[in-house]
Amino acid sequence: MAGPKSSKSSSSDTSAAISTLWKSYVSQTPDRLKFIDSFLVFIVLSGVVQFLYCVLVTNFPFNAFLAGFSSSVGQFVLTASLRSQVNPENRPEFKEVSPERAFADFALGSIVLHFFVFNFLG
Amino acid sequence: MTAAYPLPSNLSPTTVTNTASLLRIVALGLISAAAIASRLFAVINFESIIHEFDPWFNYRATRVLASKGFYEFWNWFDPTAWYPLGRVVGGTIYPGLMATSGVIYNFLHALNLPVDIRNICVLLAPGFSALTAWATYMFTKEMKDESAGLLAAAFIGIVPGYISRSVAGSYDNEAIAIFLLMFTFFTWIKALKQGSAFFGTIAAVFYFYMVAAWGGYVFITNMIPLHALVLLLMGRFTSRLYVAYSSWYAIGTLASMQVPFVGFQPVRTSEHMAALGVFGLLQIVAFGQLVRAHVSSKQFQNLLLAAVISAGVVGALGIVGLTYKGWIAPWTGRFYSLWDTGYAKKYIPIIASVSEHQPTAWPSFFMDLHFLIFLFPAGVVLCFRELRDEHLFVIIYGVMASYFAGVMVRLMLTLTPVVCVSAAVALSTLLDTYLDPTEPDAPAKENETATPTPSSNGTSAPVSAKKVKKNKEQEAAPPAGGALGDLVSGVASAAVAAKKGDKAAARGVFGLDTRFAVLLNAVGLLLFFVVHCTWVTSNAYSSPSVVLASQGPDGSQNLIDDFREAYYWLRQNTPETAVVMSWWDYGYQIAGMADRPTLVDNNTWNNTHIATVGKAMSSSEEVAYPILRKHDVDYVLIIFGGLIGYSGDDINKFLWMVRIAQGVWPDEIQEPDYFNQGQYRVDDEASPAMKNSLMYKMSYYRFSELFGGQQAVDRVRGQHVPMVGPTLDVLEEAFTSENWIVRIYQVKKEDVLGRDLKSANAFAQGKKRKRSKPVSRRKALV
């Protein structure tokens, strides 16, 4: 559900709509956000691989799976938060969060998240 | 200009702000001092001692932590609890409380302050109550303003509903949990308001602390998603909500799984699924918003809506399916009992037998909250007036907590903070309205003139200082008319008052007399509240229940110290491995004070083991003896209040023992057997099963001898006990405390000659055996 491509195809069958979406995305989004989006796509892929491994192979060290998967999910939502905070369109919503502070928040959140991830890997 | 009373006009705004913030700090300091001081009744009236039952276990665990270090504590296996099973303590507790005390202990010792661990444990709850007052101040500040915050802090500081769980010596999880609850909610509101991942992370960290500290963390786990869901359904989705909720949930859930006792529950049990569902829903909605930003086709949005709905349905079906397949555990029994108050009594007597799990009686609402309980709805109505995102939170919290507090006495504790917050909002609106010097006939006045009043009332100065800022914000609306109109006529008139802004000038507060009438009334209420809180705290909530107090006819206090007397007797006179059997209520105290292995204790995880004890207590000696011997029981300890009228004794709890035993052995123990024609009696009319039960025999053994030939009276039940008391064959009395509250019996070993104990006993008492064949045969020989 992350990258604009992945879950769109399931919800709509009109390929024209997708191509409009894609074109508008490519043309309107600032490069910074595209950079963040590529990171998001990478995280989604890593999460999907872990999930498939868990379903198809084994979930044996369940805590390790949970740690890895939560790392993906957590990092994804933190990055998505960063994305919406630095998005110029959302500026009026985040009056008190400047882009610099958003990045600092992101860094702090990631550190805390991965502290727990490492603790849980076992 | 017209003002009801003159205000100094030569003060610069900075002076006003500085003075107001100084006064706020002083007020918060005083509130903290009052919160701590009012919790010290227990220490002053009795002594610095750990109270009740569960705190004794926490104290014992903390001592292990302080003396042996954290790793030993983490891996602690306690072989003396649940004899012969033992208990993995590290994995079956919420370690937050002990860890907090341990950190404080080590910190103080690092500063070369040799404070005893017991004193830290005793004073932890009062200390944290000061922090709770601060957290409530911060929380209420987000709802209204600083003056409401101060009122809320003062309320939560001394309100009996919270003091009941946090007096000095009440060393239980709730002592720190309420602070964590309020602080987590505060950071959540802050994160939601600012859309800040930083506050979301802080909320997650405090959520983790809360999970480590109290099982009530499930309340947060469901409150925050509920709030998010309501916002979503009201069409109030913003990116700030996404940021706040996602960062809290992603980090908080992972963090909560670090606590061994919680483990994988956040992904496995139904209680936690709501949070996960809302998390998924938010992701979908956020993604939908992103797509909508790029595509503006109406038809496309319809498609999107369908996609969102179908995804939600699939998600819900998925959760139901997983529950069905057993991947996700269904609701636990304790949770069901929240919805169906009769559930626990039918299916899990062990939960129903705990007095704090009973439904709340209505007087206790007044007793615990006093006048806050009728200001509470007013505050909720005022929240509806503004209805910003954070006000919704208070409303939802208020509704949920009111319900839960009605179902279970102990959940009064979660209701108390929201009552304090919304009562403070209501009262502070009232004070704002009537302290405001603006007269209604004037048009909206200049703000520079509204400066703080030099007043004796501590809170009024910040109130009117705050007014300055508030008036600036609401310059458009006439302040006095608008605020009052809304206060008086509530939600319905709010819109009307706002519309007829010019007419509102005709309504309002005129002159000083009306102001004084209302304000004196409010101050009077506050004073009665303080008196009530002090009285309730000193009389109802400060008893350690380990030491009992009674008053003589001349008012002198008389301490009844039977419990400790008996526990120290056990400690001094029995081998360290002697197993003590008692009803589970006293397990923690025996372990903590007597340091002896127990069969069952207050951590009621093993119903069968408790039922075994119940069976032994409620069956006859012949049946009970093998059970006692099989479990290596050396001593049996019972509580008997019949002599001095202590009503919390084992005979009164006896029916629960019977019920719990019946749940496991329905064909051996039946509750109706213990009644005589529907009545629970202990006198001559008592039923045979009752009279033969071990508990009855132990309680009244030699009791009638005390009365020297007179009719013996049980002062709790108010019944006459039979003149000829019961006899015991398999037990012998080992110790009975001064007021007979605690009686300890030693289990006899098997007779060395191989006789059964009954005939051995009869022989020892010189009774002849029934004349039967052997005698006659001897005669024949002669």
> Which of B27-41, B55-69, B247-261, B536-550 is the least confident region?
B536-550
Q: What gap in Å lies between CA B422 and CA B487, rounded to an integer?
A: 14
Judged by phi (left if over 0) then psi (alpha if -120 to 50, else beta), residue B581 lies in beta
* pLDDT exceeds 60 at position B493: no
Spatial distance between the Cα atoms of B735 and B726, rounded to a whole number of angstroms: 17
Give the pLDDT of residue B302.
Answer: 66
Q: Is the pLDDT of residue B582 over 80?
A: yes
How far is Cα A23 from Cα A29, in angstroms, rounded to an integer? 10
**B101: Cα separation from own chain's centroid:** 19
Q: What distance in Å separates the CA atoms of residue B395 and residue B381, rounded to the nearest whole number? A: 9
Residue B466 confidence (pLDDT) = 42
Q: Which of B204-218, B424-438, B496-510, B723-737 has the lowest mean pLDDT?
A: B496-510
Structure tokens at B615: 């069976």
Specify the 3-state DSSP secondary structure of B547: coil
* Residue B506 pLDDT exceeds 90: no
Residues 6+ apart with CB under 8 A from B198: A101, A104, A105, A108, A109, B191
- B353 versus B95: which is more confidently predicted? B95
B474 versus A19: the higher-pLDDT residue is A19
pLDDT in tens, B523-571: 999 999 999 999 998 888 888 888 888 777 777 778 888 899 999 999 9
DSSP state of B508: S
Kindly list the distances between the CA atom of residue A16 and the CA atoms of A19, A43, B296, B305, in Å, as whole numbers in the listed order: 5, 27, 14, 18
Report pLDDT for B481: 41
Numbers of helices and strands, H then E, in chain A = 5, 0
Contacts of B249 in chain A (CB under 8 A): 77
Angle formed by the axes of helices B479-499 and B372-386, to 10°? 60
Task: Determine the pLDDT at residue B458.
Answer: 40
What is the rounded CA–CA span in Å between residue B472 and residue B267? 49
Q: How far apart are CA B265 and CA B275, in angstroms?
A: 12
Residue B281: closest CA among B254, B316, B320: B316
Give dist(CA B634, CA B631) in Å, integer. Answer: 9
Instruction: Please list every residue in chain A whose beta carbon sits closer than 8 Å to the beta carbon of residue B251.
Output: 74, 109, 112-113, 116
A-B Cβ pairs (cutoff 8 Å, strict): 125
CA distance B391 to B421: 11
Residue B179, pLDDT score:
94
Question: Using CA atoms in the order B367, B369, B373, B379, what is the torsion angle rounded to 10 degrees?
Answer: 180
pLDDT at B285 over 90: no
Report residue B123 as tokens: 């004073």
The predicted pLDDT at position B261 comes to: 87
Most confident of A49-53, B25-29, B342-346, B433-437: B25-29
Distance from the Cα of A48 to chain B's closest Cα (Å) equals 15
Token pair belonging to B90: 């590290």
Q: Residues of B numbered 176-195 whose beta carbons fall under 8 angstroms of chain A's beta carbons: which are they? A: 194-195
Amino acid letter, residue B673: D
Which residue type, as a one-letter code, is found at position B119?
N
Nearest to B392 by CA among B200, B230, B238, B223: B230
Rounded to an integer, the average pLDDT of B580-591 is 89
C-beta separation of B635 from B578 below 8 A = yes
Cβ of A4 and B247 within 8 Å? no
CA angle in degrees (0–180, nearest 5) for B349-B181-B373: 75
Residue B460: what pLDDT?
Answer: 41
CB contact under 8 A, B290 and A4: yes
Say whether pLDDT at B452 is over 50. no
Interval B708-723 mean pLDDT: 82
pLDDT of B57 over the 60 cut: yes
Helix (H/G/I), strand (E/B), else coil: B219: helix
d(CA B394, CA B400): 10
B168: which residues sit within 8 A by CB, 6+ positions away?
B39, B40, B41, B42, B43, B48, B122, B123, B125, B126
Q: Please tell me chain B's helix, strand, coil percentages from 3-state DSSP, rounded to the nearest 5.
A: 65, 5, 30
- What is the pLDDT, as a whole number, of residue B186? 95
DSSP secondary structure letters along B447-492: STT------SSTTHHHHHHHHHHHHHHTTTS-HHHHHHHHHHHHHH
Using the predicted structure, report yes or no on whether residue B480 has a pLDDT greater than 50: no
pLDDT for residue B604 is more than 50: yes
Mean residue pLDDT across chain A: 83
Q: Which residues from chain B sit within 8 angstroms of residue A113, using beta carbons? A: 250-251, 254
Answer whether B257 touches A (CB < 8 Å).
yes
Strand-pair partners of B549: B559
Nearest chain A alpha carbon to B282? A77
Residues 15-34 of A with CB under 8 A from B: 17, 20-21, 24-25, 28
In the prediction, which pLDDT does B689 show? Answer: 86
- In this complex, the residue of B200, B243, B258 whose CB is nearest that of residue A120 is B258
pLDDT (0 to 100) of residue B486: 45
Q: Which residue type sits at B515?
A: R
Q: Compute the nearest-CA separation of B322 from chain A (Å).
A: 14
Structure tokens at A96: 């008190």
Judge contact between B578 and B735, C-beta under 8 A: no
Mean pLDDT, rounded, for B322-328: 67
- B232, amino acid identity: L
DSSP code, position B3: B
User: Is residue B198 predicted with pLDDT exceeding 50?
Assistant: yes
Please tell me the least confidently modeled range out of B38-42, B313-317, B518-522, B624-628: B313-317
Total Cβ atoms within 10 A of residue B662: 21
* Closest C-alpha to B205, from B256, B137, B139, B240: B256
Give the separation between CA B468 and CA B424, rounded to whole angstroms: 20
What's the mean per-residue pLDDT of chain B?
Answer: 82
H or E, element range at A19: helix A15-28
CA B208, CA B226: separation in Å to the nearest integer? Answer: 19
**Residue B469: pLDDT band with limits 50, 70, 90:** very low
The pLDDT tens digits along chain A (122 residues) read: 344 444 444 444 556 777 877 888 888 888 888 999 999 999 999 999 998 998 888 878 888 888 999 999 999 999 999 998 888 888 888 888 888 999 999 999 999 999 999 998 87
Kindly report which listed range (B22-26, B240-244, B552-556) carries the lowest average pLDDT score. Answer: B552-556
Identity (one letter) of the amino acid at B476?
A
Q: Is the pLDDT assigned to residue B740 strictly greater than 80? A: yes
Over residues B112-151, the pLDDT tens digits come to 999 999 999 999 999 999 999 999 999 999 998 899 999 9
For residues B686 and B348, the model is more confident at: B686
pLDDT at position B288 is 80
Could you tell me how far CA B348 lies from the centroid of its own chain?
A: 20
CA A114, A115, A118, A121 dihedral sign is: negative
Chain B nearest-CA residue for A106: B197
CA distance B455 to B461: 6
pLDDT of residue B267: 82
pLDDT at B501 over 60: no
Tell me, what's the pLDDT at B96?
92
Distance from CA of A91 to the nearest CA of B (A): 11
Q: Any residues with CB less than 8 A from the CB of B75 and at least 6 apart, and which?
A: B90
